[in-house]
């Protein structure tokens, strides 16, 4: 279940599916329902995983090493093959570091200042994810804006065109924190399209420090370079 539902939405969909296929009494279904907080997106949202919530990292390394390993090899050949495979992965990381630190990506939207700012701080992979979200933010509009009594906090209700689903936001101008009910930022460390829509509405041309996770930054790459030996 990878849909970005909140827990209430998931529970409704889960009960609907279970009821539709009449599988309420199946042990496997009962077990999965009782442990849904361990595997469903709705219950995992808000916990920071840097977008890694499976064994994909080690599986990717195993695939890379499997290319170098073949049958009928001596132990020495196996060691050399593993070293070659690791060196190849390190070179790929070095290439990614170089592209992030020495080149600048193309801008694809009219929000030039915001894109330029993020191109300077994000790695290329994180920047592409940011651009994808930035393009999608045009599908939403602010349905309601509520000003708090303190004048520091503003509340927004955002909705998608021709859709009934809404998202709630709160923005504190003093601390520059922007909370979204989607909670993608708290989960993977990158702002969602809804938060970008609000930042554009507030005429922000940069990301406040409170809205930047260290994991996807160019500086993080530069502070921890890939070792080739």
Neighbours of 193 (CB within 10 A): 21
Q: Which tens digit of pLDDT belongs to each residue from 21-59?
A: 999 999 999 999 999 988 888 888 888 876 676 666 677
Higher confidence at residue 187 or residue 57? Answer: 187
Question: What's phi and psi for 180, nearest 5 deg?
Answer: -125, 140
3-state SS, residue 225: coil
The mean pLDDT value of the chain amounts to: 82
Q: Which tens digit of pLDDT belongs to each residue from 130-171?
A: 999 999 988 899 998 887 777 788 999 999 887 778 889 899
153-170: burial string, b at 16+ Cβ within 10 Å, e else: bbebebbbeeeeeebebb
At CB < 8 A and 24+ separation, what contacts does 129-135 make? 129/190, 130/190, 130/191, 131/105, 133/190, 133/191, 133/192, 133/193, 133/196, 134/109, 134/193, 134/196, 135/108, 135/109
Any idea which residue has 């503003």 for tokens? Answer: 154
Contacts of 21 (CB under 8 A, 6+ apart): none
Q: Where are the domains of the chain?
A: 7-44, 112-221
């Amino acid at each position: 279940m990878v849909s970005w539902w909140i827990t209430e939405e998931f529970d409704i969909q889960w009960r609907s599916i279970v009821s539709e296929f009449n599988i309420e009494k199946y042990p496997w279904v009962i077990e999965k329902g009782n442990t849904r907080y361990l595997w469903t997106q709705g219950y995992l949202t808000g916990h920071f995983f840097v977008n890694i919530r499976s064994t994909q990292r080690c599986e990717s390394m195993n695939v890379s090493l499997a290319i170098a390993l073949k049958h009928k090899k001596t132990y020495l050949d196996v060691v050399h093959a593993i070293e070659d495979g690791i060196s190849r992965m390190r070179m790929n990381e070095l290439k990614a570091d170089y592209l992030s630190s020495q080149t600048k990506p193309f801008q694809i939207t009219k929000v030039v200042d915001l894109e330029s700012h993020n191109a300077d701080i994000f790695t290329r992979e994180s920047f592409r994810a940011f651009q994808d979200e930035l393009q999608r933010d045009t599908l939403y509009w602010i349905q309601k804006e509520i000003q708090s009594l303190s004048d520091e906090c503003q509340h927004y209700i955002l909705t998608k065109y021709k859709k009934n689903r809404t998202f709630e936001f709160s923005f504190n101008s003093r601390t520059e924190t922007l909370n979204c009910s989607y909670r993608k930022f708290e989960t993977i460390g990158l702002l969602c399209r809804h938060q970008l829509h609000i930042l554009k509405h507030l005429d922000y041309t940069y990301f406040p420090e409170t809205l930047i996770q260290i994991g996807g930054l160019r500086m993080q790459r530069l502070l921890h370079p890939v070792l080739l030996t």
